[in-house]
Amino acid sequence: MKIGIIGTRGIPNQYGGFEQFADILSQGLTKKGNDITVYCSANHSYTKDEYKGVHLIHKYDPENKIGTIGQFIYDLGCILDARKKKFDIIYLLGYGSSSIWQRILYKKKAIVITNMDGLEWKRSKYSYPVQKFFKYAEKLAVKYSDYLVADSIGIQEYFSKKYSVKSEYYPYGSFIFTKQDDTCLTKYNLKKYNYDMLIARFEPENNIDMVLEAFSKSSVNRKFILIGDYKRTKFGNELYVKYEKDSRIHFIGGLYNQGDLDNLRYFSNLYFHGHSVGGTNPSLLEAMGSSALICYHDNVFNKYIVGNDGLPFSNSETLKNIIETTDKSKYQKFVSNNLDKISKIYNWDIITDQYEKFFSRIIKK
């Protein structure tokens, strides 16, 4: 099968969820003998035209010069190029700016699949006009896609109720982390199980402010580390200014060393997951696969994944109580149950197989 993947900033992953997804899925499908191409931003630091067997096409991306409108130009360039290729399938990750150009793809015979991601129009970082645009873009994606993919049961139910359309459910995956090494903790001046942590983009809907407020008001002596490029957004900079004076709270910044990330999650006491808008978030699954004890924002997307094997919160008071009373050693059953989910459900090998069968089936159809 010849498949083109559009909608990310590129691989190897240096940004977020869709990039991580494209990175791992493209490699998995390539190893199975498929011809996979991932479209990448020309701004990506990796400039070669191949990565671990996956073909890469770098397209002009002026977002860093002209802002959000640059995304539309980048997506248009990717889609116009994809029309020239004889792809069996074009897999669009997300429906934002790319949905405006999506109808162009119907001048070619490739099957168009869109992964609908989360409810973008609910993200509080966007202004009202932008939120309205995302609602419109969502409708376009539903209209002009041959198939829709939902990475969460909650997202699948939303599209069924909202548009009376069927979508395929394929979640993200993860791996079980087995190469524990606590020596990396010294780089961050941490001790085993004596710190809490959070990994996220610094955006309002990830409830980082709620977590920080609760932790700052708590009486614990543990440290709290935040991993994510807080300097990228105004919101992140505001949180840094507000909370960096608390000697327990440490803003690490962006971190892409997978070994360090896995070990930091493994040896943490509490892992906070405040995402409230998206579907199945890859960082949540990675935390589960790294034996982290999950404290998650109580919403349908997170609930479907973690269920009763984590500590839900919906306000800072509940969080403060969890922070002050939780010892990871007493919740090993939660950790074990989540590892079992990664092994049997959210396993990248299993999910890659599911995708290959899905792609093969619709091509034959």
Q: What distance in Å separates the CA atoms of residue 334 and residue 313, rounded to the nearest whole number?
A: 16
Question: Could you tell me the CA-to-CA distances from 182 to 100, 102, 174 in Å, in that order?
Answer: 48, 47, 21
Q: What angle do CA 97, 100, 105 make, to 5 degrees?
A: 110
Dihedrals phi, psi of 77, to nearest 5 degrees: -60, -40
Name residues whose C-beta falls within 8 Å of residue 74's C-beta, 6 or more positions apart in sequence.
Answer: 41, 59, 60, 61, 62, 63, 97
Question: Could you tell me the CA-to-CA distances from 232 to 81, 167, 198 in Å, in that order?
Answer: 30, 34, 17
For the record, the structure tokens of 307 come out as 């269920």
Residue 122 has a pLDDT of 56
Residue 120 has a pLDDT of 60
Residue 128 has a pLDDT of 66
Residue 59 has a pLDDT of 96
Residue 147 has a pLDDT of 95
Q: What distance in Å separates the CA atoms of residue 247 and residue 234, rounded to the nearest whole number?
A: 22
Q: What angle do CA 354, 199, 22 make, to 5 degrees?
A: 30
Q: pLDDT tens across 142-194, in order?
A: 988 999 999 888 889 888 998 999 999 999 999 999 999 999 999 999 999 99
User: Cα torsion for 139, 142, 148, 150, to the nearest 10°?
Assistant: 20
The residues pairing with 56 across neighbouring beta strands, listed in sequence order, are: 38
Residue 117 has a pLDDT of 74
Q: Are 134 and 121 in contact (CB under 8 A)?
A: yes
Question: Could you tell me the CA-to-CA distances from 30 to 4, 37, 177, 357 in Å, in that order?
Answer: 12, 9, 23, 14
Q: Which domains does the chain have, with CATH numbers?
A: 2-173+347-364 (3.40.50.2000), 182-344 (3.40.50.2000)
Instruction: List, as one string, the DSSP characters of 54-112.
Output: EEEEEE---HHHHTTHHHHHHHHHHHHHHHHS--SEEEEE-SSTHHHHGGGGGGS-PEE
Q: Are 134 and 142 in contact (CB under 8 A)?
A: no
Report the first-to-last Cα separation within the chain, whole angstroms.
Answer: 14
Mean pLDDT by 10 residues, the chain (365 residues): 95 85 96 97 95 97 86 90 92 81 72 80 62 81 91 87 92 94 96 97 92 97 96 93 97 92 98 86 93 95 93 96 97 98 95 96 92
User: What strand order describes the sheet that includes 54-59?
Assistant: 50-51, 54-59, 35-41, 2-6, 89-93, 111-115, 147-150, 168-169
Residue 180 has a pLDDT of 97
Question: Could you tell me the CA-to-CA distances from 148 to 95, 179, 196, 273 in Å, in that order?
Answer: 10, 37, 37, 26
Q: Are 163 and 122 in contact (CB under 8 A)?
A: no
Q: What share of the chain is helix, strand, coil (3-state, %, to 5)?
A: 50, 15, 35
Q: What distance in Å separates the CA atoms of residue 138 and residue 97, rounded to the nearest whole number?
A: 10
Q: What is the CA radius of gyration of the chain?
A: 20
Q: Are 205 and 122 in contact (CB under 8 A)?
A: yes
Q: What distance in Å separates the CA atoms of residue 148 and residue 141, rounded to the nearest whole number?
A: 8
Residue 108 has a pLDDT of 66
Element (H, E) at 313: strand 311-313
Q: Are 258 and 289 in contact (CB under 8 A)?
A: no
Residue 326 has a pLDDT of 97
Element (H, E) at 196: strand 195-199
